[in-house]
Structure 1
């Protein structure tokens, strides 16, 4: 087997996108309002501020969504998991047990050490592929080679 990389992504920040869209619409209306209704120019300035806030919110949501990804790399010898502010690695030979819940996997290294992978989006195709790949690699490290 060769190296394989899996990426677990968090849910899209739909609430932030909706708020940004609302701010953008209100801002656009306030920008046009002084020209259309002879309103004070200050209303247009408030509209530009709201439009800028919408753009900032949208960029912040996109950046945070991108940074919250968890990258899992499996090799023949072990695994490397990198996420926001964390790095975990282990060898298949040291894994004593793997437990699974509907949206998470826990890799046990003896009685003390545990590495937990959680899919914040629930059961996804990537989590299913990751689980299958982990099972195949762990079986191969034990000499099972697909025999059940």
Structure 2
């Protein structure tokens, strides 16, 4: 087997996108209204501020969404899990047990150490593939083979 990297992504920041859309609509309205109704230019300035805030919110939401991804690299010898601000690694020989809940996977290294992978999006195809790959590599490290 070769190395394989699985990427667990967080849910899309839909609330931030909705707030940015509302800010953009109000901002655009405040930009157009002073010209149409001969209102003071300060209102248009406020519209530009709201529109700029909407764009800034979208940029921050997309950057934070990209940075919250978790990368799980599996090799024949072990694994390396890298997330925002943390890194865990271990060998398959050290793994004593693997437990699974619908949205998480816990790799046990004896009674003390645990490495937990959580899918905040629920059960996803990537989590299913990650679990199958982990099972296959753990079985191979133990010398288990499928019966013909």
* Bucket of the pairwise TM-score, normalised by the shorter protein: over 0.9
**Map of 1:113-128 to 2, 5 A cutoff?**
113-128=113-128
1:93 aligns with 2:93: yes
Number of matched pairs: 148
Q: Contact 1:139/1:146 (CA < 8 Å) preserved in 2?
A: no
How large is the RMSD of aligned CA atoms in angstroms?
A: 1.0
What's the counterpart of residue 65 of structure 2? 65
Q: 1:61: how far off?
A: 0.2
What's the counterpart of residue 30 of structure 1? 30
Q: 1:34: how far off?
A: 0.8
Rounded to whole Å, the distance in 2 between the matches of 1:17 and 1:113 is: 39
Q: Contact 1:140/1:146 (CA < 8 Å) preserved in 2?
A: no
Q: 1:145: how far off?
A: 2.6
What's the counterpart of residue 107 of structure 2? 107
Check 1:95–1:140 CA distance in 2 against 1; reply closer, same or farther (3 A cut).
Answer: same
Normalised by the length of structure 1, the TM-score is 0.98
Rounded to whole Å, the distance in 1 between the matches of 2:75 and 2:140 is: 11
Q: Contact 1:68/1:83 (CA < 8 Å) preserved in 2?
A: yes
Rounded to whole Å, the distance in 1 between the matches of 2:90 and 2:20 is: 41
1:131 aligns with 2:101: no
Q: 1:147: how far off?
A: 4.5
Q: 1:68: how far off?
A: 0.3
Please state whether the residue corresponding to 2:120 is helix, strand or coil: coil
Runs of 4+ off more than 4 Å: none
Cα-to-partner distance string for 1:87-117 (whole Å, 9 max, x where unaligned): 0000000000000000000000001000000
Long gaps (5+) in structure 1: none
Rounded to whole Å, the distance in 2 between the matches of 1:147 and 1:107 is: 26
